[in-house]
Amino acid sequence: MANLDTRELAEELEGLEDEMPHCPNCGGDHLSPPFGPRIWKCLSCHFAFDEPDMKDSEEDAERATAIRELLEEVDPDGDGETLISEDDFEEHARELAEEIGAIPDEIHWPFTCIDWKQAASDLQTDYSTVTFDGTDYYYVFGSLS
């Protein structure tokens, strides 16, 4: 799984919300996925309604809800966070080490023999984790990256 950028997810969410039906009571577009057979609930006014024509929107609504919850948890200010997938974390650790100049330009054995798995594992303690769409992601809470 690739890394995620919360700004991209926010854009996707906006697109999904545009596509989604609106609440017949308040016009809001924050709807929860259907409960049971096509019963939807508005997250703004808590109006529950039956909407048989919205079948195609169920998946979108689930995705929108998942993204909304993720953004609320990891990026409530909307200033953008990078979520690094578990699989990419070792790579991230290498890049970070280079970025911060932790690795001299000219290194030779035995300094080339870094245990990146261990280094990544140590680095992970500075990160928060979140699970999205079945994948674990690491992020620095409140970072402006």
Give contact residues for Zn ion (rule: CB under 5 A): 23, 25-26, 28, 42, 44-45, 47
Residue listed under structure tokens 């609106």: 22
Q: Are 91 and 118 in contact (CB under 8 A)?
A: no
Q: Tell me how far, at minimum, the Cβ of 19 lies from Zn ion, in Å.
A: 17
Q: Report in angstroms how near the CB of residue 26 gets to Zn ion at its nearest.
A: 3
Q: Least distance (Å) from Zn ion to the CB of residue 22? A: 8
CA angle 126, 127, 129 (to 5 degrees): 150
CB of 25 to Zn ion, least distance (A): 4
Residue matched to tokens 């009571």 = 25
HSE-up of 2 (CA within 13 Å, CB side)? 5
Residue 49, class by beta-carbon neighbours within 10 Å (0-12 exposed, 13-18 middle, 19+ buried)? middle
Judged by CB, which is closer to Zn ion: 40, or 139? 40
The tokens describing 137, both together, are 């992601």
**Smaller CB distance to Zn ion: residue 26 or 39?**
26
Nearer to Zn ion, 25 or 118 (CB): 25
| Alpha-helical regions (H) of 44-114 | 58-74, 89-99
Give whichever of 25 and 129 is closer to Zn ion, judged by the CB atom.
25
Report the nearest approach of Zn ion to the CB of residue 28 (Å): 4
**Closer CB to Zn ion, 51 or 91, in the complex:** 51
